[in-house]
Copies of this chain bind each other. A is one copy, B any other.
């Protein structure tokens, strides 16, 4: 088993059968020792954070499997904090795709002249580049196409999948009276036909969830939801 990539919150190993193993770590992103899923550097280590993230990820990816929504997920081992996945290549040097149900965070910082804080957004999709140095800039469909990152047809598919998956997570959380404000996903191309599939994880670190108007800390979400 060969270590092929060391990420901020996960290590990636190549398996002999051609699949990959994701090792979820207890490192979380943050600033000044405070957990912030939107931050671009590892801020602290919290025991059990990796397993908590994986439990939620396993839960949601298995629901998506039942619903025949394509992901890279094969299986997960909670004790080992590992997830086995099929190979997938990211778009360009990596994108984040955000689905928004309420106006908060960077959306509000950009468009606050036209949107009220907390305003309903009805599954609004936007894409940002994974680029720490340039603070993950938002990018349009036209620019993605022109720069050779994503074709127009792929963008359409990506947007549709994002809304489908966002709605699945939203409805699941709603069963526990938890409201999803926004969520970010990563996608890749898989297999010979380059099918677009959800990759990475779905955990507290990827979303803003609220209960009774109060923000739920990423690690609280696992306890509250599962």
Contact = CB atoms under 8 A, between A and B. Distances in A.
Interface in A158-181: none
Given A92-B114, A147-B114, A109 B134 contact: yes
A113 B140 contact: no
Contacts of A143: 111, 124, 126
A129 interface: yes
Interface string A138-170: 111111001111000000000000000000000
A42 B110 CA distance: 23
Contacts of A111: 129, 134, 137, 139, 143, 147
A137 B110 contact: yes
B140 A141 contact: yes
A211 B172 CA distance: 60
A42 to B, nearest CB: 21
Contact of A138 (B114, B122, B138): B138
A131 B137 CA distance: 18
A150 to B, nearest CB: 11
A125 interface: yes
B139 A110 contact: yes
A126 B140 contact: yes
A115 interface: yes
Contacts of A141: 140-141
Contacts of A126: 140, 142-143
Interface in A105-126: 109-115, 121-122, 124-126
B129 A146 contact: no
A201 to B, nearest CB: 23
A74 to B, nearest CB: 31
Contacts of A124: 142-143, 146
A223 interface: no
11 contacts: A92-B114, A110-B139, A111-B147, A112-B134, A113-B134, A114-B147, A114-B148, A122-B146, A124-B142, A138-B138, A138-B140
